[in-house]
């Protein structure tokens, strides 16, 4: 895994960390269990203690407490130095059992993003050359490997704009959703993207749709203003629809990409697609005072409880927490390396082994156990 600059690291002298653990719904508890195994080993190997505070969040919280983001969960998250969250949500049919505004995405996830103002969402899209066989793209397209970080603005745009539903003068039902950003919101996400880019290849792709959207016109204006502060970073402006094509045709041209909320939601799932599985998509959601870490994918209710889900995204989210919230950059790199070694030994969970018959399929907890075995064998720097 690439080494990301630690721009969120808290005071490194603080060695006792409180971590809120919210397994979520569907495959969440299974993949969280593996992530917690890794976290416990990290605690054992390093001069840190982790106080894990378990909390209900999502549909499970709604069914048990009547709210998807109950007050006691808020209290735990408020106290925590970092939050680790599993995927949430139910199948389309099951969701209908919950009132629209309490459904976990609207009732828990968006309120959490807003509560902690976690505006900077880092979504690594990473596939080293040796794992090219997992990707649906041809090896010659993957070349030396894919190594992108998508920086998605997470608390603005259509997700949080005003909404109106009603019946118009012609008697037709209508809906209106607004896409709103102010310059401060754009500027703060740009600083994240530029700092990240400065510590990597110094090429920043700015994703927009300024030929249609006024929001993108302002977005690009602010981008130009902020760019002046980072003369070493080359900015490439590119339309969002063109990016969708280029991610398939030539993903290796991208390093850091910055985009607004909705574009980031869509393109990051495409990122999972070019890797071969959304199970390879961890993420960090960073605010100025609080951060939480979650897989970029959903709760996959269709495969829940079968011990076949890929815990990579959840364990990768732990690695991102070690780096960004606790400044444990070397140990984070070890966790990434441990996972890559499991793959290069020829193992993977069902999502990826289905794509390649030379890979031996292992279960969710076998994957976790192998990662733990690899990490245990790694020297502590
Ligand atoms: C994501 C997810 C969420 C989003 C859903 C669950 C609300 O798809 O984190 O990408 O749209 O942001
Ligand atoms: Mg999404």
**60-69 — which CB contacts under 8 Å span 24+ positions?**
60/23, 60/24, 60/25, 61/104, 61/108, 62/98, 62/102, 62/104, 62/107, 67/102, 67/107, 68/98, 68/102, 68/103, 68/104, 68/107, 68/108, 69/107, 69/108, 69/111, 69/112
Going by C-beta distance under 8 Å and a sequence separation of 6 or more, which residues neighbour residue 335?
38, 42, 315, 316, 318, 319, 322, 371, 375
Q: Known catalytic residues? A: 159, 209, 241, 265, 269
Task: Report, in this order, helix, strand and coil percent for the chain, each rounded to 5.
Answer: 45, 20, 35
> How much is the pLDDT for 380?
86
User: Whole-angstrom Cα distance, residue 355 to residue 357?
Assistant: 7
pLDDT in tens, 271-309: 999 999 999 999 999 999 999 999 999 999 999 999 999
> DSSP strand E in 224-320: where?
234-239, 256-259, 284-286, 291-293
Report which of 242, 263, 354, 244 is spatially closest to residue 308, judged by C-alpha positions. Answer: 354
Domain 136-275 sits in CATH at: 3.40.718.10
- Tell me which ligand sits closest to the C-alpha of residue 269: 2
Going by C-beta distance under 8 Å and a sequence separation of 6 or more, which residues neighbour residue 300?
26, 27, 87, 309
What tokens were used for 101? 């505004």
> How much is the pLDDT for 6?
47
> How much is the pLDDT for 190?
98
Collapse the DSSP code of 259 into the 3-class scheme (helix H, G, I; strand E, B; otherwise coil) and give the result: strand
> How much is the pLDDT for 11?
53
Q: Which residues of the chain have pLDDT under 70?
A: 1-14
> How much is the pLDDT for 276?
95
User: Whole-angstrom Cα distance, residue 36 to residue 18?
Assistant: 13
Report which of 12, 20, 10, 1 is spatially closest to residue 293, judged by C-alpha positions. Answer: 20
Domain 1-6+13-123+278-381 sits in CATH at: 3.40.718.10
Judging by beta carbons within 10 Å of its beta carbon (0-12, 13-18, 19+), is residue 210 exposed, middle or buried?
Answer: middle
Residue 265 Cα to ligand 2 midpoint, Å, equals: 4
Q: Maximum CA pair distance of the chain?
A: 71
> How much is the pLDDT for 271?
98
Q: Do domains 1-6+13-123+278-381 and 136-275 have the same CATH topology?
A: yes
Domain boundaries, the chain: 1-6+13-123+278-381, 136-275
Which atom of ligand 1 lies closest to the CA of 87?
6
Residue 47 Cα to ligand 2 midpoint, Å, equals: 35
Residue 344 Cα to ligand 2 midpoint, Å, equals: 28
Ligand 1 surroundings by CB, under 6 angstroms? 89, 105, 109, 265, 296, 298
> How much is the pLDDT for 319?
98
């Amino acid at each position: 895994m690439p080494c990301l600059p630690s721009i969120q690291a808290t005071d490194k002298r603080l060695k006792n960390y409180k971590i809120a653990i919210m397994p979520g719904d569907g495959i969440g508890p299974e993949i969280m269990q593996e992530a917690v195994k890794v976290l416990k080993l990290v605690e054992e190997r390093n001069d840190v203690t982790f106080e894990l505070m378990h909390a209900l969040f999502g549909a499970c919280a709604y069914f048990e407490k009547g709210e998807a983001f109950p007050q006691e969960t808020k209290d735990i998250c408020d106290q925590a130095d970092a939050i680790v969250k599993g995927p949430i949500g139910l199948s389309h049919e099951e969701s209908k059992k919950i009132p629209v505004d309490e459904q976990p995405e609207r009732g828990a996830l968006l309120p959490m993003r807003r509560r902690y103002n976690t505006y900077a969402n880092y979504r690594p899209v990473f596939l080293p050359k040796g794992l090219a066989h997992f990707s649906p793209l041809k090896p010659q397209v993957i070349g030396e490997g894919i190594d992108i970080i998508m920086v998605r603005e997470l608390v603005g745009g259509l997700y949080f704009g005003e909404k109106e539903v009603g019946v118009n003068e012609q008697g037709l039902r209508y809906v209106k959703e607004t896409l709103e950003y102010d310059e401060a919101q754009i500027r703060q996400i740009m600083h994240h993207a530029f700092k990240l880019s400065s510590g990597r290849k110094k090429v920043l792709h700015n994703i927009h749709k300024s030929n249609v959207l006024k929001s993108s016109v302002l977005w690009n204006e602010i981008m130009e203003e902020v760019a002046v502060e980072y003369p070493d970073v080359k900015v490439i402006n590119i339309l969002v629809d063109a990016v969708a094509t280029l991610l398939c045709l030539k993903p290796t041209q991208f390093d850091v990409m910055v985009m607004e909320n909705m574009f980031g939601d869509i393109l990051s799932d495409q990122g999972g697609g070019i890797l071969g599985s959304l199970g390879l998509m961890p993420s960090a959601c960073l605010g100025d005072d609080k951060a939480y870490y979650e897989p970029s994918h959903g709760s996959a209710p269709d495969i829940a409880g079968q011990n076949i889900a890929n815990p990579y995204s959840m364990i990768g989210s732990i690695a991102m927490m070690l780096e960004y919230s606790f400044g444990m950059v070397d140990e984070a790199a070890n966790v990434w390396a441990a996972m890559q070694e499991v793959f290069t030994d020829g193992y993977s969970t069902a999502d990826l082994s289905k794509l390649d018959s030379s890979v031996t399929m292992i279960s969710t907890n076998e994957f976790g156990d192998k990662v733990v075995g690899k990490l245990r064998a790694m020297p502590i720097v």
